[in-house]
Structures are given as structure tokens and as C-alpha cells.
């Protein structure tokens, strides 16, 4: 407790507000010694200290460091759990090729190596992949199973299997778009590095 209080006190002494206030307070002392403050010098010194503390810029608190590779690792673990879940639920045989294609693409993007390293540097691509694995695919499967049960009681309309196939097609298109974005990002890095080497050669 005492250590925490000491840290806070030292932090205040070293803060920008205290330093700015102290500088203005020194000016007030200078005016007092010059005879300009008169009998009200304590008010003048305190007022200048307060004014300096008010106009000082606020302290900047550094944001906590986040390691994007940790998010990729966590997403990889969630993808493993997703595959285990899909192995336990009953899915239509007609959608098997769509499932395998989507999961293969997800797995390739998350496989340890340079692709996952590029993924870690692209927040939007990482978010899209995370949303697909953690929310969209489980929701597709759960909705299909619940709708299929109701469809057995009141058949008719478009089949739950058709809806599931369409959803998987859309998710696969999104995963392909993520892949294309990562490929373009890597191409831009290569072009930037080439330009850097050319510029260095000219200098």
C-alpha cells in the first residue's frame, strides 16, 4: 500500500501538470522578490501554479501492447474446436464438398508460416476470418439442424439443405476474398521493398 502511494506521489511530482505549475509558481516567486506581488504574494504564487497546471497538456497513457500473432494462435485453436464440433453434428451429404472446401481454405490461412504472419498484419482480414469461424459457421449449422426439425413437422418451401448450401457458398466466397486481399497485401509489400532498394541504390 505504501509503495503504491509512493509511486502515485512520485508520478504526480514528475507529471507535466506539476512541472508546468511549478514553473509558473517560480515566476510568482520572482514577482514577489521584485516587489510586484505585494502582501498577496501567496495568492499570486498559488494562482500561477494553478494556472500552469491547468494549461499543461494531459498525461499520455500508452496503450497496452497487443501481439497480433496471439490472436491468430487463439483463432487457430478455435478452428480446431470448430472442426471437432462439425465432426459430431449431422450434416447433409450434398453439402460435404462445400464443407470440405471451406474448412480447407480456413486451415490454409491459419497454418503456421508466412501466410499466417501476413494475416496477423491485416486486421480486417483477421476479423473476417474470426467472424466466419467463431460465429457464422456454427450459426449456419445450428440453424440448419433446428430448421430441419421443424420442416419434418410442416414440410414445404425451400429445403433447409438448400439454405445451408447457399450459406456455405457465401462463406466460401468471403474466404476467397480474404485470401485475395492477403495476396494483394503481400504484393504491395514486395513492391514497396523493391522501391526501397531502387532508391537506396540511387543514393
pLDDT, tens only, 149-193 = 777 666 666 788 888 999 999 999 999 999 998 888 888 888 887
Lowest-pLDDT range of 33-47, 147-161, 188-202: 33-47
- The answer to whether 159 touches 151, Cβ cutoff 8 Å, is yes
108-117 pLDDT, tens digit per residue, is: 999 988 888 8
- The answer to whether 119 touches 72, Cβ cutoff 8 Å, is yes
Distance CA 40, CA 106 (A): 74
Residue closest to 129 by CA, chosen among 198, 78, 175, 189: 175
Q: Which secondary-structure segment (H or E) carries 48?
A: helix 41-55
Distance CA 27, CA 32 (A): 9
Question: Which DSSP string do the residues of 91-139 spell out, in sequence order?
Answer: --GGGHHHHHHHHHHHHHHHSTTHHHHHHHT-HHHHHHHHHIIIIIHHH
Confidence of residue 98 (pLDDT cuts 50, 70, 90): confident
Contacts of 53 (CB under 8 A, 6+ apart): 17, 18, 20, 21
Residue closest to 93 by CA, chosen among 158, 41, 37, 164: 164
Distance CA 158, CA 78 (A): 32
- Greater model confidence, 197 or 146: 146
- pLDDT value at 83 more than 70: yes
- The answer to whether 119 touches 125, Cβ cutoff 8 Å, is yes
Amino acid at each position: 500500500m505504501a509503495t503504491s502511494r509512493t509511486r502515485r506521489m512520485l508520478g504526480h511530482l514528475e507529471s507535466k501538470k506539476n512541472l508546468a505549475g511549478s514553473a509558473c509558481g517560480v515566476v510568482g516567486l520572482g514577482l514577489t522578490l521584485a516587489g510586484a506581488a505585494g502582501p498577496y504574494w501567496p495568492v499570486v504564487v498559488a494562482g500561477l501554479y494553478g494556472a500552469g497546471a491547468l494549461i499543461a497538456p494531459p498525461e499520455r497513457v500508452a496503450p497496452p501492447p497487443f501481439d497480433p500473432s496471439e490472436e491468430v494462435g487463439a483463432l487457430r485453436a478455435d478452428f480446431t474446436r470448430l472442426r471437432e464440433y462439425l465432426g459430431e453434428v449431422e450434416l447433409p451429404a450434398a453439402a460435404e464438398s462445400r464443407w470440405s472446401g471451406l474448412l480447407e481454405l480456413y486451415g490454409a490461412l491459419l497454418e503456421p508460416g508466412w501466410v499466417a504472419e501476413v494475416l496477423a498484419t491485416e486486421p480486417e482480414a483477421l476479423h473476417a476470418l474470426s467472424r466466419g469461424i467463431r460465429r457464422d459457421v456454427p450459426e449456419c449449422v445450428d440453424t440448419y439442424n433446428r430448421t430441419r426439425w421443424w420442416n419434418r413437422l410442416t414440410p414445404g418451401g425451400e429445403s433447409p439443405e438448400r439454405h445451408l448450401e447457399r450459406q456455405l457458398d457465401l462463406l466460401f466466397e468471403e474466404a476467397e476474398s480474404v485470401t485475395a486481399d492477403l495476396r494483394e497485401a503481400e504484393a504491395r509489400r514486395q513492391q514497396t521493398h523493391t522501391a526501397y532498394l531502387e532508391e537506396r541504390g540511387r543514393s
